[in-house]
């Protein structure tokens, strides 16, 4: 069982999500406005589901506000499909997104996959020239300087680096990182890798190579 916070200004959506996730034994707290959520209670949640288009404070702004305060996965619910919106949202620290309308079975699977990911343990480190990946601290450093990756960005790097030289499709990466089949979610991985490259480019390195027509690999 996990404690899950759901924020959406559409009451039918809230009820759908609440009823669906309760079937998996989760404890759901639902709000129609982000402004209603006690900021000092956020650390009690294991996962947050956040609508983007809300009247008082939009999901992007709220994610940016709370991400320094919480370490749990954040999933966006969005009617937006433009790449810039997705890139922006994931860059703020969100882990994943679902586009409305969505199937409740898919949301349940995504939520449980992210919760399983949170329970994984890591005990060693990977080192590649200037890059060190601390698997216990879940941190990637370049020349001893931590790179501010989101949790999902870090896990993509960990997966690719742990299988150095092997080529993986976007669907394979999604399934490995989130423990969920990703046939329709390759854009999530593309966007995360775009953000990873932008952050590593500041250090003048690009360890993730694109293998055209196939996917990505860690060089």
Dihedral pair phi/psi, residue 48, rounded to 5°: -125, 130
Q: Report d(CA 200, CA 98) in Å as an integer.
A: 27
pLDDT at 181: 58
Q: What is the pLDDT of residue 70?
A: 87
Answer yes or no: are the C-beta atoms of 117 and 158 closer than 8 Å. Answer: no
pLDDT of residue 123: 52
Residue range 147-196, pLDDT digits in tens: 999 999 999 999 999 898 899 999 899 988 887 654 546 788 999 999 99
Q: What is the CATH number of the domain that holds 72?
A: 3.40.50.2300
> SS3 of 211, please?
strand
pLDDT value, residue 80: 67
Mark which of 118, 135, 158 sits at the end of a domain: 118
More confident residue, 6 or 136: 6
Kindly state whether residues 140 and 75 are assigned to the same domain: no
Range of the domain at 86: 3-118
For residue 38, the model assigns a pLDDT of: 92
The widest CA-to-CA distance across the chain, in whole angstroms, is 52
**Same domain flag for 102 and 152:** no
Q: How many domains is the chain partitioned into structurally?
A: 2
Residue 134: strand pairing partners:
125, 139
101 in the same domain as 51:
yes
* pLDDT computed for residue 201 by the predictor: 94
Same domain, 112 and 182: no
Mean pLDDT is lowest, of 32-36, 82-86, 194-198, 204-208, for: 82-86
Q: Domain ends where: 83, 118, 153?
A: 118
pLDDT at 82: 62
Report pLDDT for 51. Answer: 92
| Tens of pLDDT, residues 35-81 | 999 988 898 899 999 999 888 899 999 999 999 888 889 999 987 66
Q: State phi, psi for 181 to the nearest 5 degrees.
A: -60, 140
Strands (E), the chain: 3-7, 27-31, 47-51, 74-78, 96-99, 125-128, 131-134, 139-142, 145-146, 208-211, 215-218
Q: How long a stretch of residues is the chain?
A: 219
Distance CA 142, CA 106 (A): 37
Mark whether 52 and 159 lie in a shared domain. Answer: no
């Amino acid at each position: 069982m996990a404690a899950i916070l759901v924020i959406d200004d559409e009451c039918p959506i809230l009820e759908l999500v609440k009823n669906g996730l309760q079937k998996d034994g989760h404890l759901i707290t639902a709000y129609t406005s982000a402004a209603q959520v006690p900021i000092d209670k956020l650390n009690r949640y294991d996962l947050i589901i956040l609508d983007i288009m809300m009247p008082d404070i939009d999901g992007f702004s709220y994610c940016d506000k709370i991400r320094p305060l919480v370490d749990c996965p954040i999933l966006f619910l969005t009617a937006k499909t433009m790449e810039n919106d997705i890139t922006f949202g994931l860059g703020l620290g969100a882990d994943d997104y679902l586009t409305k309308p969505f199937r409740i079975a898919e949301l349940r699977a995504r939520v449980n996959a992210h919760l399983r990911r949170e329970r994984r343990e890591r005990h060693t480190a990977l080192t590649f020239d200037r890059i060190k990946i601390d698997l216990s601290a879940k941190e990637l450093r370049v020349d001893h300087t931590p790179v501010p990756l989101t949790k999902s960005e870090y896990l993509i790097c960990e997966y690719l680096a742990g299988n150095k030289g092997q080529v993986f499709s976007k669907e394979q990466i999604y399934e490995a990182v989130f423990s969920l089949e990703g046939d329709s979610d390759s854009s999530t991985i593309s966007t995360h890798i775009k953000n990873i490259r932008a952050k590593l480019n500041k250090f003048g390195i690009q360890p993730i190579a694109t293998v055209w027509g196939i996917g990505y690999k860690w060089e």
